[in-house]
Amino acid sequence: MLTWRTKPTLYQINTWVWLNTLSRRYETPIQLHHVPDSVLDELAAYGFDAIWLMGIWQRNEEGRHSALQYKHEYRGALPDLIDDDVIGSAYAIGDYRVDDRLGGREGLAVLRARLRARGMRLILDFVPNHVATDHAWLRAQPDCIVQGTRDDLKKRPTDFFAKRYGRRQAVFAHGRDPHYPGWSDTAQLNVFHPALRTAHRELLLDIAEQCDGVRCDMAMLLLDDVFARTWQGYVGSQLERPYWIELIGGVKNAYPDFRFIAEVYWGREGEMLQQGFDYVYDKMLYDRIMERDVQKLRQHLLAPLIYQRRTLRFIENHDEQRAYSTLGEQRSVPAAVLINTLPGGVLLHDGQFVGRKIKLPVQISRQPDEPSDEKLAAFYKRLLSETHDPIYSGDWTLFDIASNGDVAHFNLLAYGWYRQGHSDRLIVINLTEHRSKGWVHLRRWNWLAGRRWRLHDTLDGAQYDRSGDELTERGLFIDLEPYEAHILKFEVL
């Protein structure tokens, strides 16, 4: 039986694009149920705990029609784009049914079993805030949708739309983030209506039969205060139990090992954990990395360990620009070391390992050819092999760094992992463009004293012999080049 590690690694795959790419590579149509063994073996070799297949649910015709109106914008990512490449947004779901063009429910079940046989679980999407504008609920269960009036249609045309069913015209709200206009290919769900809660509970129980967890899109939009503020005047009073507490609790009763992952922003991460989520996005860490502000990074890492262990760290995903584009070849390396060696889960993205630079719209099914950085790919293989060592489920410590006579030590981050019976790890990272030096205070690791140690860098193979007394009294002197990182493994001499 598979068990979740305390520090899981998730790998995100854009399902349509992935199968399209494989079909071209193998020169035959490939669906979920006949992905080649060699492809799955390659994924398993990285040691991923779970594969997130993004965009697997059915996309309907209205979503595709909406996307076709913006195909001029997609050509920046895919210059030779044709209409057949446009399939509609992965987040305007027409039905929570595995699209038949991908292999349907049976194809997914076959792939899931093959992933599990290789030690990997399956994560799928859940989009709780909205559905596609032609989803069956608009006609069959309109109370599940936020509704408006003809006056709303005139005054707020970007937030409302009309549907005609025979002689009856209904006005519905588009799904939206309160800071932006509505998403034109979606209809807003009413989480304050009991019918929607019942429908979502049944839906999630069905999803839980098909996978091992869900990544919940824009999860903070469903918090009672956020939803009430966004749709004041259009929905009734909040229900007795908060939406997420009710939904997660119901699913966990039936599937205790099922995992809920929240895409969440605006500082609401802790609240989402309290409402039952297993992991939350760590967007603040991402922002600090992009800002190159090491001291703000350090402050962020002072958060309680019990919180950090339930965050999901990343440097790219389908919503963000490609790391190789934003960070470049050099900065990508220490940033990857950071997210993979901190407490908490890790979210990695298909194409990240080979240095893809082009961010794909979620409305298209094909990606352009890009050169692969084999050096980067080899680095990720070494890094992921290292971070699957049991030491990374041990005790984590953030270390202080003292000056070597200037202020360059402020550019460095240092932290370590300890677990009895395993070789300690010290990670030191320079995320800046400046050569930086400093003394890492290791006095908290008092067991180092009285012995001599060999420090083996698991990234480049370098070795350094040091006295344990010096390490605990004065510290370890570090001199890092720009964008350099060490993962030092302690071995007794």
Position 85 in a domain: yes
Burial class (CB in 10 A: 0-12, 13-18, 19+), 26: middle
Predicted confidence at residue 83, as pLDDT, reads: 97
pLDDT at position 1 over 80: no
Strand pairing category for 57-58 and 95-98: antiparallel
The amino acid at 37: D
Q: What total of structural domains would you count in the chain? A: 2
How far apart (Å, rounded) are the C-alpha atoms in residues 146 and 235? 7
Express as a percent the part of the chain with pLDDT over 70: 100
Looking at residue 94, its pLDDT comes to 97
Q: How confident is the model at residue 328 (pLDDT cuts 50, 70, 90)?
A: very high
Q: Which of 360, 388, 416 represents a domain boundary (last residue)?
A: 388
The answer to whether residue 162 is domain-embedded is: no
Q: Any residues with CB less than 8 A from the CB of 374 and at least 6 apart, and which?
A: 354
Give me the phi and psi of 51, to 5 degrees please.
Answer: -110, 125
Per-residue pLDDT band at 2 (split at 50, 70, 90): confident
| Enclosing domain of residue 339 | 9-126+282-388
Dist CA 444 CA 448 (whole Å):
9
Q: Are both 35 and 120 inside the same structural domain? A: yes
Q: Based on the fold, state whether residues 406 and 488 are members of the same structural domain.
A: yes
Chosen domain end from 325, 358, 388: 388
Mean pLDDT of 32-56: 97
Determine the pLDDT at residue 267: 94
pTM exceeding 0.85: yes
Domain boundary among 367, 388, 409: 388
CATH number of the domain that residue 373 is part of: 3.20.20.80
Domain assignment present for residue 240? The answer is: no
- Work out the average pLDDT over 319-348: 96
Q: What is the pLDDT of residue 405?
A: 82
Q: H helices within 141-255, ranges in order? A: 150-155, 194-208, 224-230, 243-254
